[in-house]
Amino acid sequence: MNLDALYPPIEPYETGELLVGDGHRMYWEASGNPEGKPVVFLHGGPGSGTSPWQRQFFDPEVYRIVLLDQRGCGRSTPHAGDPDADLRYVTTAHLIADIELLRKNLGITAWQVFGGSWGSALALAYAQAHPDAVTELVIRGIFTLRREELEWFYEGGAAALYPDLWEAFVAPIPVLERTRMIEAYHRRLFDPDPAVHEPAAIAWSRWEASTVTLVPDAEQIEAMSDPRKATAFARIENHFFVHRGWWEEGQLIAGVDGIRHIPTVIVQGRHDVCTPMMTAWDLHQAWPEAEFVVVDDAGHSAAEPGIQRALRAATDRFAGR
């Protein structure tokens, strides 16, 4: 992965596990300047967890950089890849409450919220729930879990661009069940038998990993083929998608009036297949006050050079606020 457009690698100066209730512990870490401008990074998926390179979007001399692993994934426990995983207490409302609890525990009055893909949805939802806690928003690869977004990527729309990869995605599902792929996968991902849920999880995760960049990243695809990681990722994603994020259709875009005053940058890859530009455009139309940046030579991944440059420019722009 080429990260030349970002800041150099850094290590956290503090890590912890926050007891968030319902038997869950949330991993968090802080890096950069302990006295700096607070920013919280909200990862995608849901269910992907954070990675060390994600600290590098922020100037470490300026920012107090907080990363967290949302319930069920990464270094948070219990892990959704475990055989007895229970996702009853893994919902959007729980994640919003966890973020707010962490903010208060860290003694932060308000912070910049940075999120991509599912993280953009969670950032919008958190800001709409707690607008006074948000100084700025930087969001990328806009995803709001509307029906048309989910059907595009998981019910056959994207197959027009990737028919070979789509064939591998539908392979675990019998032909008669392929008209409702999310539901068909749900039955298999939550089957207690590893012989059933692991192949389904790997197929689900590889489909996404294979399409997030303009040029497939073999290393990322291989990483997402690890059974435990793939199971957690696929289960949590599917769980949220079956429930449509526990939102009304179009709720996040309709709710921009409550956060219109928050300085915001929206970054979108023009060739994003996972979260196509239609959603970012709809958000831009509803929220013209936000800066809208289209990266013409990028897909979905924040690791693509054009996306990296746009995101770093946004955090640098807000660094002095």
- For residue 187, the tally of other CB atoms under 10 A from its CB is 14
Q: What is the DSSP letter of 50?
A: -
For helices 227-242 and 181-189, angle between their N-to-C axes, nearest 10 degrees = 130
Given the residues 120, 186, 300, 301, the one annotated as active site: 300
Instruction: Tell me if the bond preceding 78 is cis, omega within 30° of 0.
Output: yes
To the query of whether residue 94 is one of the catalytic residues in this protein, the response is: no
Task: Write the CA distances from 252 to 13, 264, 287, 292, integer angstroms.
Answer: 34, 15, 11, 17
Given the residues 43, 272, 284, 301, the one annotated as active site: 272
Distance CA(203)–CA(286), nearest Å, equals: 36
Distance CA(100)–CA(26), nearest Å, equals: 12
C-alpha Rg value of the chain to the nearest Å: 18
Given the residues 117, 120, 205, 210, the one annotated as active site: 117
SS3 136: strand
To the query of whether residue 300 is one of the catalytic residues in this protein, the response is: yes
Residues annotated as catalytic are 117, 272, 300
